[in-house]
Amino acid sequence: MASALTSAEELRPWVRAEVVDLRSTGAPTEEKYLVDTNVLYFIHYERFGDLDELGKGARPYQLEHYPKYFKRVRDHEGKLFVHRLGLIEFARLVERAELNFSTQSRRLVSQRFPRKLT
């Protein structure tokens, strides 16, 4: 079983772009950043913090490193971009999360107010 690649140096041979390590403390140096769907999901999905209810909450590194890095990018006046396929994936993630929230709330209501058979 292959192990997950964890550092920017390990990813460099596989990706044709500069991989930025969000854990770095240096100031961002680029004007434009291409971000993946997970970043979009974290930044723009209003109910991201509520995903804990579904057992799909933010991972500790997302809560720790994403906000700090994006604040530094904003302070540096950097711009974030996403590929159009990333938007499709983002929409799918949001739709699935909303469906899960809806299903969970219906389940909770039916547990609190069971139907009586007549």
| pLDDT at residue number 27 | 66
Number of folded domains that form the chain? 1
**Among candidate residues 84, 112, 16, the one with its CA nearest the CA of residue 104:** 112
Evaluate whether residue 4 is within a structural domain: no
Choice between 25 and 33, residue whose per-residue pLDDT is larger: 33
Evaluate whether residue 79 is within a structural domain: yes
Evaluate whether residue 85 is within a structural domain: yes
Looking at the chain, the whole-number percentage of residues with pLDDT higher than 90 is 1
Residues pairing with 34 in the sheet: 81
Q: CA-CA distance, 68 to 79, in Å (whole number)?
A: 15
Evaluate whether residue 74 is within a structural domain: yes
pLDDT tier at 3, thresholds 50, 70, 90: very low
pLDDT at 95 over 80: yes
- Which range of residues forms the domain containing residue 86? 30-110
pLDDT at 5 over 50: no
The residue type at 115: R
| pLDDT at residue number 1 | 41
Q: CA-CA distance, 45 to 48, in Å (whole number)?
A: 5
Evaluate whether residue 39 is within a structural domain: yes
Evaluate whether residue 86 is within a structural domain: yes
Evaluate whether residue 11 is within a structural domain: no
Evaluate whether residue 5 is within a structural domain: no
